[in-house]
Every structure is written in structure tokens, then in C-alpha cells.
Structure 1
Amino acid sequence: MDFATAWDADLRSFADELCRFETTAGNEAPAQEWLHERLAEWGFETYRWEADAETLAAHPSFPSDPAEIETADRPSVAGVLEFGDPDAGRTLVLNGHVDVVPAGSGWEGDPFEPRRADGRLTARGAADMKCGLAACLFAARQLEDVDPNVDGRIVVESVAGEEEGGIGAAAAARSNPYPFSRDAAIVGEPTDRRPVVATEGSLMKRLRLAGRSAHAATRWRGESVLPAFERVRQALEELEAERAELVSHPLYEAFPIPWPICIGRLEAGRWASSVADELTAEIRVGVAPGETVDVVEREVDRRITEAVAETDVDCECERFSIQFEPAEIEPDEPVVRAVQSAMTARGHERTDPRGVTYGADSRHYVAAGIPTVLFGPGSVEQAHFPEETIAWDDVLEAGETLATAAEAYLAN
């Protein structure tokens, strides 16, 4: 019996119910407790952990002030299945995050009431990444159902706070919540069912410019921050173009802008009839695999300082929010080969590894010495998008491929 025949109805019900939970930042607990109960009901050995803010504050991804890291009542949960002699074989983690970004506007219905039409599921989190998490869980159940003649363990993780830097995954990577080691991981992010072995990092900077106010009728007496900001914008645009030429990586050649610099938020001035004497901009800078956030930050700071040096505007530029270090593993890692062999067995033609311009929880596991590949249903183009949707056949196919890959990994 194939995966779709065996699990379609149960997987549909599970995914729909999971999508009904409004698991925005800090609100993951009800869904996690529900999922913990399902894992126990289905015979998994269960685990639960919460991150420690002081520990995360020492992590380069997070703010240095523990008070800025919200960890209370944000559990991560996991279920473990063991096969044969588990200590004689490998341990594979199938990871997904339960948190979602706020729904925002542009929805035709309730974002947290799943809708199905034309073979697609629409809901906040459908693609990013509750269906990927569901596929991981049911892949493990499929593997248990066939009772493979292998030794090892499958761990299914549902972590909290991925959208805020990977709170649950960072805690699991730094302080192993299990009484056994982990050999590899697959994160079920929406990769269009392609294996991803490189994720881009990102630097988050907040720029503040201060000039001098004056009445609009005598604006020549003031010092507007807008010309200085335009100099900064042009400097960052030039830096982005230079980095696209100078910083190369074979997995990123297809991207028109491999290391994007995005000014995502801008606020300036106080009143229409006053010279704009203050400006705040929030900037996201892509960091290539093989680079570090620190090195890229120094160049960004230098360009900004030079841009405003010949103006009378004061400038401050500091980190804020979460920093994502890039991550990469070798394409011939056993876990990557297992995914590729499963894809081949399922008739997939495009099994070559890819790089992506976003970050993921995989970086925490890679930093801990756990080779991790991304593979899951859906497209990142639907992530954080109104009317977020996923093709249900992709979810079923991903579940089958994950189960085949897990069996292949444990068998070697």
C-alpha cells in the first residue's frame, strides 16, 4: 500500500487541525501540547523542552540582552521511534517549526480556517511550514508501519520560534534534549521538493540619522536627513551590485541578486510643515555561505559611514533583531544522498542540490556538527504571503519521499 492510500485521510485531518492553531510568536503552546498528545497517542516516546533566554543571549544569532528574547511558555516537542537495536544504528531528525508569521491583510477568508479547493490547501502556515511538519510526522509513521529491518532512530521535532531566529532549534542544537546523539537531520521547509544544502545568512541593521529641524517656510535653516539617506541608499545599492560580482558560489549563480540588501522599513520626519530632522531605516543584508555576519557588517558600516561623512547629519547604525549565520554542508553527505536516492526511486528528475537566499533552522544543527539538508513540499514564494497555499499532492509526495529517504539513511 502506498503512502497516499495509507495516510491521505489522516494526514489531511492532522494538517487541517494544525493550521487552525494561530501559532504566531509566543502563541505556540496550545498547538504544541496538542501535538505532544498526538505523538504519545501514536506510540512515540515524547520529549519537551523550552529555551533558556540567558543561554540564547550568548548565541551570535540572538540579542545579547536576555530580556529581548521571549522564551517563556514556548515549548518545543518531539517524538522518537526506535528500530531494531537503536544504539547500533543512526539517528535521523525530521524537523519542522510550528510557528507562523502574522496573517496580515489580503485574505479571502479566515487565515486560520483551512480551505480546500482544486487540490490545494489554503491557510496561514500551509506552506511555511505546517504541511512540511505534517509530512515529516507521517513519514515516520509510515516507516514504523512497514517495520523496516534496520537499526536506528527517527526523531520528529516540532520547534517553536523559527521565525524569531530558531529559538527551539537553537536550544536543541546547543543542549541536546535527548539521551542519545543525532547523526543527521532533514528540515521540511518548502523547497519545492528539491534538496537544499546551502542557506544564506542575513545581517539586520537599524540606521538612525539626525539633522536639524526648521519651519517649512524657512527650510534652508534646517538640515534635512533625506539627502543623506539617499546617499546611503545609493551606497548600499552599489555594494549589493559589487558583492554580486565579487562573492561567488556555484549554487547561487542562477539568482539575479544572490546577496540582496533590502531596506525594508523607513520612517522619517515629524510633521509635513517641518524639515525632516530624523530618520530610522531597517536594513537586511544577505550573507553568503562561507562568509560571516561580522565581516559583512564591517563593510556595510564602512559604506554607510563614508556616505554620510561629508554631510552635517549625525549617524548611528547598530544591529537589531536576529542575525542569521549562513550554513552549508557537502553535497555528498550521506543524508543528502539518502534524499536523492529516495527522489530517484520516486521518479524525480531534478535531484541536484540547491542553495537558497533565505535562512533556516538547519544552520543551528550544522553549527552543532549535525549534517542537515532542507527538503519539503510547497514553495517559499508562498511563505508569509496572503492566501498562502500548497498543492496537496506535493505534501503526499514529500511524505513518501521522506519515508523512503529515512529508511535509506538508517539502512546504511
Structure 2
Amino acid sequence: MLSESERRVINVCDELFEETLLLTESLVRAYSTLGNEREALEIMEAWYRQEGLEVNRVPMRQSILDEMTGNTASIEARYNVMGTLNAASTGAHLVFNGHLDVVPAEPASLWTRAPWEPWRDADWLYGRGAGDMKSGIAAMAMAVKAVRQAGIAIEHPLTLQTVIEEECSGHGALACVKAGHAGDFVLIPEPFGATLVSGQVGVLWFRIGLDGVPAHVLDTSAGSNAIEAIASLFGALKSLETEINAMPRHALYQGMEKPFNLNVGRIEGGDWASSVPAHASLEGRLGFPPDMAVEDVMERVRRCVDEATADLGGGISNLKVDFHGFRSEGVVVDMRHPAIHLLGECHHDLTGEAVTSRALTCTTDLRAFHVHGGVTGTCYGPVAENIHGIGERVNLESVRHVLKAYALFLCRWGRETPRDDTLAQGR
């Protein structure tokens, strides 16, 4: 049941809904692909200052990148931005975390409008990042404004984190965690709908390169075709995917046909159409169970490639496997955690229905908090379609719902959430 003060907060959420969409649209216009996140960061920093939050920039430190041995864009002057309230309070520390970076919208010619120019049509807001996850960031920010504007004081520690590099490494959220900003519970507005995320797979990015022997096309047999050789590895990699999916699984993934997916997302090779290509490379992504170690998966990829070497043909040399970007462990969320229960109650009181949960076949920044910070959290966000695809869009009413759910969660966090020691036991 909603109290009178909570109903007042919900009414303010309705009043702020258009402002929430306008903030989303301004973030979509800031087309924040890898290395180009500055404008989006500045929009959120300005919003934090406008609302009286303490602003902190958390730099992307080389030491963290070296530790994770992942690839990243140049870290020169790159950072994440946070808005905080009551940092000195001894209450349970709630963290909202959202990523500002987006994947490229190419080919832009397939969009009906420029993907970095947001537009609304009926019940949807379109544009790259509208769903993944700029509308969720706008909702988490406006939820704070709604609670305060309704006259309810937020007295517990609260941090709003807007981070970069979620789409390629997770180093932005990791930098915040390593800098001591993990909090006691994290809520991430990924666009999977008003459902609780109960777990996620591990993810490994890999790169395979090799050399062939160049030759003139007047006699292609005089050379060794590197592109054909690299393409011949697809079968071996698909067999590895099948092998991993056939292994015993955590209960979260028992009902899924193929939760651990391989994707070969990039291939390059050759120099000239009339020359046998002398070099080629591919980059891929492989999902794996949450109870499997990253090192185990890396070894399986290496072994898979080694065993396929004999079928590459003569003249192929310098075969190399390396790992870049994601090297992310899986996550199993403790669904008995008191904050999970509290969020479920908020969902029920807004919808009249019990909240559902789902395990993801992808990864999110939950991994940084769970694995490296020892902090429980979940995702609960708007409904989006075509994320990473053409015509990405977010459902407007789902944004309104998430705004209200976050605001109600904020209201109840301070008075119903146990202190730090109890939260730690819930981890």
C-alpha cells in the first residue's frame, strides 16, 4: 500500500515525466560511442550540479586496465561522473549506476532518421541509446528530483554513477568500484523491463590472427589464402560453443536451449583484390556459465584454435590468439537480499502484481560490483527494442513506470533498509 507521502511522490513523477524524456533526448543527441562520451558526461555533470548533488569525476586509471589486461580507448583525460548526496552519513549506501556509452549505429543509412536525432512516434522514443540506456539514466536521476521535490528528505548516502565503457570492457564501473564507490546495493536501469535480473553469463572477447603467403592471382596455388584459413576456424569455434552449452548448468539456465552464445563480430584481411591475402584476423565474443572461471574459458579457446591448426593448410603461419575487452565473470544474484525484496514490494504496490525475475544471456556492469566489490545488485529498467540494432526504441510508459518505481524505492530505502552490517550479510 502506498502512503500519502508516497502518493505525493508518484504524482510528482508524473509532473516530471516530460522533463525525464527531454533529458533522455538530450543524451541521445550526445552520440557517445567509444572515445566520444565527453558531451554526454557533461550533460549529466551539469544536471547533478543543477540539482545540488556533489559532483565527482572518477578517472579511468591505467592501473585498473593493466590489472584486467583488457583493451580500451585512450584513457587520456577520460573519466566517469558521479553525483552524490550525504556521503558522510552512516546509513546504508544506495548506488544507481548507468552507462552513457553506446554502440555505433552504423549503417546509419538503414535508419529512417538519423540515429543520433531522437524522435517520438506514438508510444515510443527512438534513437541510438534511447533504450540502452539513456532513458534509464534519466529515470534514475529524475527519481531523486521527484522525491526531494515532494518534500521528502533523502538522508542516507546516495550515489548516481554515470559511467563509460560498459559496452566493451566494464572498466568504467570497475573504476568506480576500485575507487571505493561500490556502496551497499546497486540498481542498474538496463532496458530488460520491470523484472529483476537474477544472474548473467560470463563474457570473453577474443582475437585470432594469422598470416598466409601472398601471390599473384595468375596462379593462386602459389600462395596461401589467409582469409580462407581464418574462415575455416568458424566450425571449430561453433563446436566449442556447442561443447560449453552441453556442460552441466546452474539452475538459472536449465530451461534455456542455448544460453552461452558465440558471435564472430568482426573479420579483416587482405590488401588487394588481385592478390592472395597474406593476413587475416577475426574478433569474437563467447558467453559461458557463471560458475566457470575466465581462465578456463581462455584455455578452451586457445585449445580449440590449436586443434584446428592442422586443417588450415600449408603456408599459414604466425597464428595467434589474444584477449581484449571483456573478460567478465558471470554473476548469480542473491535473490534473498533485503534490497531485492524491497524492490519487489515497490513493484507490487505500483502494479498489483508480483515481480518476476530472469537470468541474462549477456553481461552488465553488475559484474564489477558483484565480483570486484562484493556488492549485491540487480537490473530493473524500461522496455526497449532493437538495442544494438536498427531503429532502437524505448517504450514511453515503461520509462514512466521505472521513474515511479525508483522514486518509491528511494523513499522506502531510508526507512526500511537495514544498516550496513545487515546488508553485508545479505551479500
Contact 1:232 1:304 in 2 (8 A): yes
Show the counterpart of 1:62.
Answer: 70
- 1:92 corresponds, among 91, 94, 98, to 94
Q: CA deviation at 1:364?
A: 0.9
| C-alpha contact (below 8 Å) 1:140/1:156 kept by paired residues | no
Amino acid at match of 1:375: Y
Maintained 8 Å contact 1:228/1:307: no
- Tell me which residue corresponds to 2:377: 372
For structure 1, which segment, 114-123 or 213-222, has the greater mean C-alpha deviation from structure 2 after superposition? 213-222
Q: Which residue of 1 aligns with 2:60?
A: 51
Partner of 2:283: 282
Q: Which segment drifts farther, 74-83 or 108-117? A: 74-83
1:272 positional shift: 4.2
Rounded to whole Å, the distance in 2 between the matches of 1:230 and 1:108 is: 33
Aligned residues between the structures:
401
SS for the counterpart of 2:242 is helix
Deviation at 1:302?
0.6
Return the offset for 1:353.
Answer: 2.4
Question: Using a 3 Å threshold, how does the CA distance of structure 1 residues 70 and 327 change in structure 2: closer, same or farther?
Answer: farther
Aligned: 1:302 with 2:310: no
Output the amino acid matched with 2:383. G
Structure 1 residues 211 and 394: CA distance shift in structure 2, 3 A: same
Residue 403 (structure 1) aligned with residue 383 (structure 2): no
Alpha-carbon distance in 2 for matches of 1:215, 1:307: 27
Which residue does the alignment assign to 1:333? 337
8 Å contact kept, 2:65–2:171: no
* Alpha-carbon distance between aligned partners in 2 of 1:173 and 1:234, rounded to the nearest angstrom: 39
Correspondence for 1:8 among 17, 26, 43: 17
**Larger deviation, residues 293-302 vs 157-166:** 157-166
- Higher mean alpha-carbon deviation, 89-98 vs 218-227, is at 218-227
How much does 1:71 deviate?
2.3
Structure 1 residues 329 and 302: CA distance shift in structure 2, 3 A: same
One-letter amino acid of the counterpart of residue 89, structure 2 = P
8 Å contact from structure 2 (residues 34, 73) kept in 1:
no
Superposition CA RMSD, Å: 2.5
- The code of the aligned residue for 2:388 comes to H
CA deviations over 1:300-343 (Å, ceiling 9, x no partner): 11111111135433322112334233223211122222221211
| Aligned amino acid, residue 64 of structure 2 | L
Q: Which amino acid aligns with 1:307?
A: A
Q: Structure 1: any 5+ residue segments left out of the alignment?
A: none
* Equivalent in the alignment of 1:252: 253
The 1:241–1:406 alpha-carbon spacing in structure 2 relative to 1, beyond 3 Å, is same
SS of 2:111's equivalent in the other structure is coil
Contact 2:21 2:138 (8 Å CA) reproduced: no
Distance (whole Å) between structure 2 residues aligned to residue 61 and residue 352 of structure 1: 36
Higher mean displacement: 184-193 or 110-119: 110-119
Local SS of the residue matching 2:280: strand
Aligned to 2:123: 119
Aligned twin of 1:208: 209
Three-state SS of the structure 1 residue aligned to 2:93 is: strand
Shift of 1:365: 1.2
The code of the aligned residue for 1:134 comes to A
Q: C-alpha distance in 1, partners of 2:173/2:270? A: 40
- Letter of the 2:14 counterpart: T
| Other-structure match for 2:176 | 172
What residue number does 2:103 align with? 101
Greater shift, 10-19 or 235-244, is seen at 10-19
Q: 1:7 to 1:71 in 2, by over 3 A?
A: same
2:159 equivalent to 1:186: no
DSSP 3-state at the match of 1:162: coil
Give the TM-score of the pair, scaled to structure 2: 0.86
After TM superposition, give the deviation of residue 62 of structure 1 in Å. Answer: 2.1
Helix, strand or coil at the partner of 1:359: coil
